[in-house]
Every structure is written in structure tokens, then in C-alpha cells.
A and B are shown apart, each in its own frame.
Chain A
Amino acid sequence: MKAKHTTTVQSCQRLAEGVYDLRLVYETDPGEVLPGQFVGVYSKDSARRLPRPISIAGYDPKGKVLRLVFRVVGAGTEEFSHLKAGDQVDVLGILGNRYDLPALSGKKVLLLGGGIGAPPMLCLAKALHSLPGTEVTAVLGYRTNDLFLADEFEEVSKVVIATDDGTAGFHGNVVEAVRAQNLPADVICACGPLPMLRGVKALAEERRVPCFLSLEERMACGVGACLGCVTKTTKVDAHSHVKNARICTEGPVFNAEDVEI
């Protein structure tokens, strides 16, 4: 059941330039939390009305601690970056669908995370790590050698680094890195900027492997009512009855074959 929860900040730490690691403790159980899902985080400023959709980087059900790793992109996320332990934050959700873990189990899974697309892939990498026979390789793309979260990926998967400026790992983007190193995959999962996801979709089509993408879009309600955050779909969507699906509800995780991006 979706709800607006009050949470308490456990910590908020800077991980890299403009990237923060926020831990929020729920008072009441938010229910099951699975890789791919997101929450809407509310600002305390009454002039900022809409919840900010932020993907889930991790969740500890014992302490009810939600982990969000986000980049400062505007006034709302700037505000969140200054949160201190003990502050109260209103959070909408858990929202959205999730990665189909049984479908990934026992496979060679390639996880592609571009920039701030890496955090939800970490949540997925950790979940896949516990599934027997599942081989996970994470390909992480960064602008520079400010390699946030890479060390945590290394604990649960093989890691390939790609940087835009060539200061660490492969000089280029994640898709180029996969091609250059001919990394094997039975299935690909990816989150990152739209141009990257287009490249990933093309890569999966060439290799004829299943591919799942975490999409993002400007959102308002976050719960499927306003139809603000749609993506174009290849077939008529079962809910909308047009070729548009709600990223907040039918997504954010889509089979790459089903979306036109």
C-alpha cells in the first residue's frame, strides 16, 4: 500500500562532487522494497510542492533504513544535500515496479550504470549477489575519476569503470566499454541518461539479449494519476490504451523492447 511516510535522517554524506548518500529511517514499515523502485522526497520549502523522484540505492528492512544516493540538480536536491541526522523528511512511497529477479537468476547479468544511474544498479547488484549461479558484471560510467559507489559494487560483482575524461578505467562511455572489452551477457539491465539508454537498447538488439531499462521523467503525482511522466511504448499500453506508459507506475523498469526512447 502506498503512503506518505515521515522519516528521520540517519545520515547524509557527500560521496563525490554534487553526489550525496542519504539514509532515512522509516517510523512505520513501508512494506517490501525491491531493486528498481523509487520514492518521492518532499521539500520543506512550502513553495516547492512536488515530490522529487529518487531511485532506491538500498534498504535495510531490520532498521527500516532507506538509502538514497542522489545528485544535486536543483533547489530541491540542494536542500536535501544539507539534511542533518535527526531531521524529519516526508517520503512518498515505495513507488514503481521492480526488476524481475527470478528472470535474472542464474544468468550472466550485465549491469550498466551511467553517472547517477549507478545507485539503483547497486541495489540490484546486491540482490543478484545472493542468487546462486548469477554472474554479475557492473559497468559504471563516470565523468571523472570521482568513482562513487564503485568500491561497493566490487564487493558484490565484477566491475568495469569507464570515464568520460579517461582519468580512470576505459576512456569512453559504458556502451563503448562493453563493446571494446566484448563483455558477455545473457541479459542487460541499465540506468543512466537517455542517450546512454538508447545505446544500451541498440546493443541489446544487436546481441539479441533481453534488456531492462530504468527510465526517468519529470513527475508530479508519482502514483499514476496525473499522466505527467509517460514514456512512448511500441504497443498500446494496457492501462492508457494509447502508446504511452506511466513511468511511475508501469515503470520505472521497462523491457527495452517495449519502449521507444
Chain B
Amino acid sequence: MENTNTKVDLSVNIAGVTFQNPVMTASGTFGSGMEYSDFVDLNRLGAVVTKGVSNVPWEGNPTPRVTEVTGGMLNAIGLQNPGVEVFVERDLKFLENYKTRVIVNVCGHTEDEYLAVVERLQDEKRVDMLEINVSCPNVKQGAMAFGVDPKALYDITRKIRAVAKQPVIMKLTPNVTSIRETAKAAEDGGADAVSLINTITGMKIDVERQKFVLANKTGGMSGPAIHPVAVRMVYEAAQTVQIPIIGMGGISTWQDAVEMMLAGASAIAVGAENFHNPNATMEVLSGIEDYARRHHVAHISDIVGAVHQ
């Protein structure tokens, strides 16, 4: 008989920050939590990872911005956001009502724009960590340009690390030849952690109209179809760097989440699945807990990278 009453320690530690459990929301799929607070008790999340915020408001791309593809979707939102001042006044204030950790995703076109946001957030107590978005494929200037070039990634990581008061996570793009190289560049630049993967660049053409479905022509693919790519990349990054990894990409079930942790992720994030199942984070969380009980895992962090042994 299995003892189903065993208390499982679900907490994880990333760069000195303790999270009550490893389940986070992927940036851009959850707003700042407000829109999903009807569905999910935000207090139960390991962390809310907010939608990318820039120094000034960004309009984003023209529509259509989203379309479904088999087993997932493409998006080209283009990081529309109200800018850091509104974000601090409204979104951070809202999150003060919850005991979950807050990771703020930061975006910019230039190094100075990233640094402006990081500086503005320096003394905001509600910000537990920063996630630097050097991987959005939908912005013409900046963003992914920093994430595909190891030298540029190293440089911007150093500059941000020098200014940030919170631990810094560099969010990596899968649109590279070697995730090992970019993960290493982030680590060498002083990143406290890396998160991966952002979306995979894709395209959809309307065959009847013979036109692109998305106004931006290309979009970032997310959803269950990309999960195996994400697992492989988390595994390779875990082989290469010592800093913690937050794993994401197509997680739709607790099995996907556990798989990601076994590949080397200290925590995981649920992204596009929130659109399919607004309660997905909570179902993943309880699934992870049940799994730990069944496998007699006292601390969930014990399974991180288990396949590497």
C-alpha cells in the first residue's frame, strides 16, 4: 500500500528565491494574473510570470495576431504592453494581494530600453525576479536579435546583471543552432538562471486566399506540439550550465511538467495551455504532487535532472 498522506515538499529554490511549488505561468499567456483570477487561485501558483513590459507603452503588431495550428498556435502579438509605469501602478499593486512569487518579464528594442525597465524595477519590493526576454520572435528590432547571437547575449546579460537588484533569468529562444552556446553565454554573462523555450518561429498560409494568415507573416509557435523540442533543449542546457533552468514549451499535463523536470528544469511554466484549459496550472500542480507521492519523492527538487545520472 502506498501512503498517500505523506507530505511532499514541493518547494524549489532558484537563485536564492524560494518558490512554494515549481508551477509558474509562461510570460504573455497569463497577463499579470488578473484575467485568470476567476479560474485560478493565484495564491497557489509557484510564481506569476508577467507579460513582457517595456520602458514605454508598445502598440504591438497589426491583426490577425493569432491562429491555431495542429497541436498548438502561432502568435505575433508583438509585445503590446502599457509600459513599466502603468505596470508598476496597476499590475504590481494587484499582485500585492497575493502571496505568490512575481517574476517580471522585461523587453526592449535596445540595451538602454531593457536597462531602463530593470532600473525602474530595482526597488519594487513585489518583484522577486526578472526574466529578460531576449527571445521574442515577433519584434523587428531587439528582442530575439540579442538571443540568437551568443556574444550579444553575453553582453546584455552582463549589463543587466550589473544594474538589477533582483536575480536575473535570461529567457532563451529555440530559434538557434545550439542552445548549449546561448545557455552558456547567459551563464558566462552572469545570469542567475535561464528559462526556455520561447516560441518557435513558424508561418501559416491561407491556401484559398493565397495570403499569410498572420499580419506579421511569421509568428511564434506554442502548444503541445512543441513540447518534445523544449524537453530536448532543456536537457541540453542542463548538460551545459550549472545555473538553474525554468522549463517551458508545450506543457499541457502534469506528465509534461515532470518530464521537463527530469530533463533538468528546477521549475516549469504553463503557457498556451492556459487558453485551452484556464485551470491547467492547478491540474499540473496536483498531478506533480500525486506523482511525487507515488514515487516516494520527499522533495520535488530531488527529481530535477534525474535522467542525467
Interface on A for B, CB 8 Å cutoff? 1-4, 42, 46-51, 76, 92, 217-231, 239-244, 249
Contact = CB atoms under 8 A, between A and B. Distances in A.
- Chain B: interface size category: 35 or more
B35 A49 contact: no
Interface stretch (B70-78, B93-101, B179-187, B291-299): B70-78
A225 B29 CA distance: 6
Contacts of A218: 63-67
Contact of A49 (B57, B60, B68, B86): B68
B287 interface: no
A229 B77 CA distance: 9
8 smallest CB-CB distances across A and B, nearest first, come from A241-B82, A228-B66, A225-B35, A225-B31, A49-B276, A224-B35, A220-B66, A218-B64
Contact of A3 (B35, B38, B86, B273): B38
Nearest to A222: B275
Q: Which residue of B28, B65, B224, B279 has the most chain A CB atoms within 10 A of its CB atom?
A: B65
11 contacts: A47-B71, A49-B68, A49-B272, A49-B276, A50-B73, A217-B64, A220-B272, A226-B77, A242-B60, A242-B80, A243-B59
A223 B35 contact: yes
B39 interface: yes
A240 B66 contact: no
B58 interface: yes
B19 interface: no
Given A229-B66, A230-B63, A220 B73 contact: yes
A227 B77 contact: yes
Contact of B275 (A49, A239, A241, A249): A49
Interface in B21-75: 28-31, 35-36, 38-39, 51, 57-60, 63-68, 70-73, 75
Contacts of B272: 49, 220
Q: Looking at chain B's contact residues, is the secondary structure mostly helix, strand, loop, or mixed?
A: loop
A51 B82 contact: no
Contact of A223 (B36, B51, B59, B65): B36
Contacts of B71: 46-47, 49
B38 A2 contact: yes
A130 B54 CA distance: 49
Contacts of B72: 49
B80 A224 contact: no
A244 B78 CA distance: 13
A228 B65 contact: yes
Interface of B: 28-31, 35-36, 38-39, 51, 57-60, 63-68, 70-73, 75, 77, 80, 82-83, 86, 223-224, 272-279
Given A224-B31, A240-B80, A50 B275 contact: yes
B31 to A, nearest CB: 4
A227 B275 contact: no
A227 B80 contact: yes
A50 B68 contact: yes
A13 to B, nearest CB: 26
Contacts of A242: 57-60, 80, 82
A42 B35 contact: no
A241 B86 contact: yes
B62 to A, nearest CB: 8
B194 to A, nearest CB: 24
Nearest to A221: B275
Contact of B73 (A4, A49, A244): A49
B96 to A, nearest CB: 19
Given A217-B64, A241-B86, A226 B29 contact: yes
